Amino acid sequence: MTSSSGHILILAGTFEARRVASSLSNAMPDTRLTVSFSGAVRDLPELAVPTRVGGFGGVAGLGDYINRAGISLIIDATHPFAFQMSCNAAAAAEMTGCEIIRLERAPWEPEAGDRWRSAANFEDAKAALDTEARAFFAVGRKEIGRFTDRTDLFGLVRMIEPPKHALPDHWKLVLSRPSQQVEEEMELFAKYRIDTLVSKNSGGTRAYAKIAAARNLKLPVIMIERPRLPTTKTAESVAEILRIAGHLANH
């Protein structure tokens, strides 16, 4: 791959994906870039690079796209819980022989005094909730349905787009992005008398305020661990992705 002939596909969905796109377009202006969004969220960010929206049609569809678009490198910068997309990307890269790197931001770690309980998956998290708990759910719109048969609970559910499943009538839905202000998260928890936080271990800074708010309020946290993703080259930071992409572009 050369910097002028390569075409890099960035699988987006995270804040870091946008940073990868803008940093790469500055650092490698001769390299063609395409940023791909799933289309799950309607208000997509403005990017100064070409974008495409929507699924590829599984591994076969992505393989076909890679061949047609002449993709030489996939940067998988999807969310750590975007299991299907990461699996498809790894399989399609192997099938077509194109390079792949996954940006894997570090998971959140508990600090002294934190009352975290680890849950291996969504089912475990549901089983760990006390009877009649008042829970704040920081899980996705596809995943909230795993909890909705626990009608003994009060659930405060925040997500960007409406959930796929109906919520129990006595639960509260807030349609917004996570706040980055710890005080705002503490006020929200206090307003709805939340006694437990249920969160995916997404890592990163953009959704961390709720974790700090739970710490300040000494609330228990049920932390859902990440799915195990296929083995590929990984990078922990945008800077490392840039270094690896630059290296691949020059070989």
Which positions touch ligand NAP (CB under 6 A)? 11-14, 36-38, 40, 55-58, 61-62, 78-79, 81-85, 88, 140, 142-143
Please state the closest distance from residue 84 (CB atom) to ligand NAP, in A.
3
For the bound state, the minimum distance from the C-beta of residue 140 to ligand NAP, rounded and expressed in Å, comes to: 3
Alpha-carbon span 171 to 75, nearest angstrom: 38
- Closest distance to ligand NAP from the beta carbon of 68 (Å): 14
Nearer to ligand NAP, 186 or 238 (CB): 238
Q: Which is nearer to ligand NAP, 50 or 57 (CB)?
A: 57
Per-residue CA distances from 94 to 10, 72, 73, 129, 232 (Å): 17, 12, 11, 41, 10
Instruction: Output the CA angle 105-219-127, nearest 5 degrees.
Output: 80
Q: 58 vs 70, which CB is nearer to ligand NAP? A: 58
Which residue's C-beta sits nearest to ligand NAP?
A: 13
Rounded distance, CA 28 to CA 246, Å? 8
Q: Tokens for 136?
A: 């704040």
CB 204 within 8 A of CB 187: no
Minimum CB separation of residue 137 from ligand NAP in Å reads 12
